[in-house]
Amino acid sequence: MKLVFLLSSLFFTTSAFAKLNFNSDYPLYLSDQSRYTHAQVEAALDQAFSYQKPVVLFVHGRGNEPEKSLNGGTYVEGNAVHKIEQQYGVKVVMFNWDSSAFLYDRNKPLRKMPAAAASLKKVLTKVNAYMKANKNKKITLLAHSMGSIVIQKYVQTYGWEFKDQIFASVLFTSPDADNKNHALWLDQVAQSEKVYLTINKDDNILKKSNDARERNVSALGLNPIKPFSHKLTYLDLTKMGTAPGAATGAHEVFNKLNMKDQKNVCEIFEALLTSGSPNLSASTFTTNISGYFNFQFKRDDNAPCFK
């Protein structure tokens, strides 16, 4: 299968690069390891769009970045930038923040959130200006795991500062932000953006992501609780395994190799990450919570989405 071949080549694609360390002067990276300062946001976007592909602004999660997402450098879910590009035919602009941590520690990355939010503010301001000047272009915002907390901290510190829509979609995958009062900050984003977030109640990483939380509070992507937002879309991936009712512990849910050949899941991600419009009615069914959808079980490894 083409997908397997592409991913099996990642080791050879990335192993030739030198190890990358975090540098606050360079908040943006492309997959070729070119890096850009806050003054060069427009240049990064120009370069990404020059490939004539949909563009994804990716806010990574916890780990030794940018090494993890660009070179692997980990035993747990590395090479995210290359996976996204190769699986979805897009170009990724990665927002880099100081997310280093040992295993499941949240304390160290959480201490860096104010600086990450301030850096993101500068980037988003320039992305907003760029997209206003280039209305024919589309970009998706993808925040993964603790990357969701970077956006949360930005919103709670500065507010969502943009009245007009910037992104085709804003997608939070496996959000590690607290489930408590999540609607308060997400509703601010959803005032002008189409916001989606994924849930997997069997997520093996979020199950262990418990430190530095209040009692009875857990990760949003593991267990969303009331009050729910009426402005965003919840996508529940729980029990979308190899058989009806079978769990999948996937955390890197955007990775097609973790989708267990679930056609409907793949097609929704494909639409969102390529700046398209997801057909929820064909792939999901509604629940008694407004805006909360469960996926219809349908495995098909021959679906075009997996080619």
Place of tokens 């943006």: 28
pLDDT digits (tens, 9 = 90+) for 212-252: 999 999 999 999 999 999 999 999 999 999 999 999 999 99
Q: Quick check: helix, strand or coil at residue 151?
A: helix
Distance CA 220, CA 222 (A): 5
Distance CA 154, CA 283 (A): 32
Determine the pLDDT at residue 73.
67
Distance CA 60, CA 81 (A): 9
Distance CA 114, CA 125 (A): 17
Determine the pLDDT at residue 77.
80
Q: Rounded mean pLDDT of 113-136?
A: 99
pTM more than 0.85: yes
Helices (H), the chain: 2-8, 10-14, 41-49, 67-71, 80-88, 107-111, 113-133, 147-158, 182-190, 263-273, 280-283
CA atoms within 13 A on the CB side of 128: 14
Nearest CA among 106, 105, 81 for reference residue 94: 81
Determine the pLDDT at residue 75.
57
Nearest CA among 86, 79, 10, 27 for reference residue 53: 86
DSSP element (H, E) containing 295: strand 292-295
Distance CA 152, CA 219 (A): 13
Q: Rounded mean pLDDT of 25-39?
A: 99
Nearest CA among 253, 120, 119 for reference residue 176: 253
Distance CA 204, CA 200 (A): 9
Largest CA distance in the chain: 51
Nearest CA among 204, 237, 180, 189 for reference residue 103: 204
What is the overall mean pLDDT for the chain? 94
Cα 295 off chain centre by: 19
Q: Quick check: helix, strand or coil at residue 55?
A: strand
pLDDT digits (tens, 9 = 90+) for 139-194: 999 999 999 999 999 999 999 999 999 999 999 999 999 999 999 999 999 999 99
Please check whether residue 149 is in contact with residue 61, taking contact to mean a CB–CB distance below 8 angstroms: no
pLDDT at 3 over 90: no
Angle at 159 between CA 220 and CA 274, to 5 degrees: 60
pLDDT at 12 over 70: no
Distance CA 227, CA 276 (A): 29
Determine the pLDDT at residue 102.
87
Distance CA 181, CA 194 (A): 19
